[in-house]
Amino acid sequence: MDDLWHRRILNYPKIWIAICLALIAGATLGAGNLYFRGDYQIFFDDTNTQLYEFQKIESIFNKSDLISIVMAPKQNDIFTPQTLNLVRELTERAWQVPYSSRVDSIANYQHTFAEQDDLVVLDLIPPEMTFTESDITAIKQVALSEPALRQSLLSQSGKVAIINITVQLPEADNTERMVEVKEYVNQLISEYQSKYPDMEFHQAGIVAMNYAFMLSSQEDFATLVPAMLLLVMVFLGIALRSIAAVAYTLVVIVGAVLATLGLAGWLGFFLSTPTVNVPTMILTIAVADCVHILASVRHHMRQGLTKQQAIAKSLEQNWMPITITSVTTALGFILMNSLDVPVIRDLGNLSALGVILAGLLSLTLLPAMLSALPFRVTQMPASQSNDRYDSFALWVIRNNKILGFSALIVVVGSAFSITKNQVNDEAVKYFSTQNEFRQAADFMAENISGMSSLSIAINSGSDQGISSPEFVTMLGKATDWLRVQPEIHHVQSLADTLKRLNKNMHSDDNQYYTLPQDQALTAQYLLLYEMSLPYGLDLNNQLNLDKSSLKLQLTIDNLGSKEMVELENRLRTWFAQNAPEYSVMISSPTLMFAHIGERNMQSMLQSLPMALLLISVLLVFSLRSLRLGLISLIPNMIPAVIGFGIWGLYSGEINLGLSVVVTLTLGIVVDDTVHFLSKYQAARRLGQSAEQAIRYAFVTVGRALVVTSAVLVAGFSLLGTSDFRLNSDMGQLSALVIFIALIVDFILLPCILLWLDKYKYAQVQSNDETHTGLAINNPQTNS
C-alpha cells in the first residue's frame, strides 16, 4: 500500500501539485475571518474561580476598567499653579474619552466641610479657583492628609498625580473599543506633552495593559514570522546548497502556515499573544520534515541513483518516521488542552493542525515538486560526504563508557537543580523594560504605588446592612488592618468617608473623626452625601443599590504569583476569623494571573505521564520493537530534565509561558530519536552489529538531524527575542531543550544502544546496497 501511494505521487506529480495547491488556496480563504484579541480575559476560562469572582464583583458594582494618566513635573512638585491647572484641565478633557463613565483626580475630589448646619460638597480644585498661595496651601493640606487621595491619586511626596478614567466597554468588539480608548488618550497626552514639555506623562491601568498585550501580539506577528522565513531560507541554502530545495521547502512551509491560519479562520479561532506564535511553530517543524526528505534524496542521488529512484527511496525510508514524528509532535501540542489557559489551548490545537498539514505536504507536495520540477545534485564519492559523521560515530563508540557516564552525571545534577525553579508569574514583567506599559508600571512602583490591585467585596446579608454598627465596626477594623500590611499601598474604603462625614456633621470637630455607631445616622449620612455628589462621581463603585454590599479596593506592590497568593490567603484568613458572618469575595486580574501559572504547571505534570505513555506506544508500534520503544523514553525525557535544570541555575522563575515547554517540546524532541532509531533498526535488521548500525544511522541521518535541529533552535531562539516575556522565555527554553535533545541523541542514545541492545534482530532480505555498503566498505567497523 505504501509503495502504491509513492508510485501515484511520482507517476502523476503535476496532478498532486494542483490538488495540494487548490486545497491550500481553499483553506487560506478563511484567514480573512481572523482577528486580534488583546484583552487579559482571553487567558482565563469561564469556569476559572478567580474570574468568576471578579465578574461577580463587577456585576454588583460598576466595572473598574481603568486607564490612568500619570503626571510627574520635572520640578518634583505637583502643588504649583501651572501643574494644578493642568490637572484640572486634563480632568475635564478626560470626560471626553470614549466610553468613559467616571473620572477621578485631586481636581474633582469631592471635598466635604461644614458651614454652620450645612454639609458643603465641592471639587477640591473648583473651576473658578485662581491658585493663590492660600488656595494652594489649602489644596495641599487636604490632598496629603486625606486617605482617599494619598498614595492613590497623589504620591505621598506630592511629586506625582494620577487621573483615573473608568471606561465601560461594550462586550461586543471589546478589543476594537479598547484600541479606540487608548488611541484617544495617546492623542490627548501628545497634545498636552507639547504644551507642557516639563511634564512627564505615563499611562497605566487595565486598558493600557490590554493594549500592550495586543501590541505585543501584532509586533511579534509582523516581525518574527518574516524574520523566521528569512532565517529558514538562509539555513537551507547553506545546508543543502540548492536554490530549488529552498524554493520547494518555502512552498511547503508557506502552504502549511496559510492553510492552518485559513482553517483557524473557518473554525472561529482568533489571534492573540500566544497564538501569533503558531506560524513560527509550523515553520520550524515543516522545515524539519522537508529537510529529512531532501537530505535523503540528496544522499541517494550522490550515491548514483536517478532522481526518481532517489525520491522513491527517500519516501520509503522517511514516510514512517515523518508520520510518527508528526503524530507525536501534534500529540504534544494537543496535550496542552489539559491546561487552564484557553489561548494556550488554542496555540496547541492550531500548532497540532499545522504540524499534521506540514507532514502531509512534505510527503505529497514536496516529492511531487521534486519529481516534476528541476532538482540537481553534484555527484561526489559517498565517503567524502560521510566521513565527518562516520568519524564522529566512531569517536562515540570508542568512548561510550566515558561519554555515557558523564552524561548521566549531568542528568543527575540537572535533576537536583530543577528544585531551584519556582512558579512565579508577575503580569507587569511580561513586558520588556523598553515597553511603554512596563515603563509606566516601573515608574509608578518607584514613585507612588504598585499597579497591581485587589477587590474585596463584602456582603452583609441584608438590605442596608452596611449601615449596621456591627458591620461598620468590622469595616473599620478591616481597613486599619489592611493598611498595616507591608504589600498594600492604598485602601479605598467607605470607612474613611463615614469618618469624614461624622466629623463634618459635628462642625468639623476632629474629635468626631470616628465611625458612627448608629445605623439610622450612618444611613442618613450616606443619603445626604450621595444626594450632594455630581453625576459620575457617585458611590456606585463602592456600594450596591440596596446597600447590602460594599467593595474595598486595594492598591498593592507588583507582586509575583507566590507572594500574591500568600497575600490572598492572609486576607481570607483574617475575614474568616474576624467577619465569619459575612460573605467575602476577593479577586482581580493580577490575582487571576497569579493562580493560572501554578495550575498550568500542575496540569502539565499530570498530563506528562499520559503523553509519555502514548508516545511510547506509538514508537513501539512504529518500530515494532518493545525494547527500542522503551529505550526511546530515555532520550525523550532527559532533554527537558537538563533544560529545566539549567533554567533553575539561570533564572529559577517558571511563568505562564514556561509551564507549557515540556508538552510543547516533547513531540519535537521525539523527531530526532525516531529518525535515528529507524535508521539504526533498518541496519540491524540487515545483519549489522550495534556499532555498524550506529555508524549507518549517523551517516544517513546525521546531517539531516543537525540541519533540522539548527533550524528549530534558530526558530525558537528568534521567538526568544520577543519583547513579550511569555514568548521570549518559552522560545529560549524550548531552543535549549531542542539543542540538548540533539546532543543526547548523538552521544547518550548511541551509548545506551551499545549497552542495552545486544540482542539479535530478525533478518530481512534486501538487495539495497545502500544499507549494507557501509559495513562492507569499512573494515574498521568494529574498531
Partners of residue 166 on adjacent β-strands = 66, 102
Q: Where are the alpha helices (DSSP H) in 686-724?
A: 690-719
Instruction: Look up residue 61 and give its amino acid.
Output: F
Say what the pTM is: 0.81
Say if residue 593's pLDDT is above 70: yes
Report whether pLDDT(170) > 80: no
CA quadruple 595, 601, 605, 611: dihedral sign: positive
Rounded CA gap, 695 and 126, in Å?
86
Q: Which residue has the cell 484568613?
A: 573
Of the chain, the end-to-end C-alpha distance in Å amounts to 41
- Min mean pLDDT across 362-371, 542-551, 559-568 is at 559-568
> Residue 163's beta-bridge partner residues?
69
- Give the whole-angstrom CA distance, residue 491 versus residue 571: 13
Picking from 685, 639, 701, the residue whose alpha carbon sits closest to that of residue 392 is 701
Domain boundaries along the sequence of the chain: 2-39+211-373+390-420+593-777, 66-204, 441-587
pLDDT band for position 202 (cuts 50, 70, 90): very high
Is residue 2 very low, low, confident or very high in pLDDT (cuts 50, 70, 90)?
A: low
Q: Looking at per-residue confidence, does 779 or 499 come out higher? A: 499
Query: Is the predicted pLDDT of residue 323 greater than 60, yes or no?
Result: yes
CATH for 2-39+211-373+390-420+593-777 is: 1.20.1640.10
Per residue in 70-118, pLDDT (tens digit) is 999 999 999 999 999 999 999 999 999 999 999 999 999 999 998 877 8
Cα pseudo-dihedral 633, 634, 640, 641, rounded to 10: 130
Kind of pairing between the strands at 66-73 and 199-204: antiparallel
pLDDT per residue over 630-650, tens digit each? 888 888 889 989 999 999 888
Do 497 and 529 form a contact (C-beta atoms < 8 A)?
yes
Which is higher by pLDDT, 536 or 104? 104
DSSP 72: E
* Orientation angle between helical segments 342-363 and 661-685, nearest 10 degrees: 30
CA distances from 715 to 325, 430, 725 (A): 18, 20, 16
Give the residue-averaged pLDDT of 494-516. 93
CB atoms within 10 A of CB 590: 25
Alpha-carbon distance 83 to 161, whole Å?
Answer: 10
CA separation for the pair 267, 473 (Å, rounded): 55
- Where would I find the H helices in 335-378? 342-363, 365-372
Cell of 461: 446579608
Cell numbers for 665:
517540546
Half-sphere exposure of 252 (CA within 13 A, CB side): 36
Query: Does the pLDDT at position 772 exceed 70?
Result: no
In the predicted model, what is the mean pLDDT of residues 543-553? 93
According to DSSP, the residues that pair with 73 across neighbouring strands are 199
Q: pLDDT digits over 664-723, tens only?
A: 787 778 878 888 998 898 899 888 999 999 999 998 888 888 888 888 888 888 888 888
Between the CA of residue 336 and those of 51, 329, 333, 350, 759, what are the distances in Å?
A: 20, 12, 6, 11, 38
Task: Calculate the average pLDDT of the chain.
Answer: 86
Please, are residues 165 and 94 in contact by the beta-carbon 8 Å criterion?
A: yes
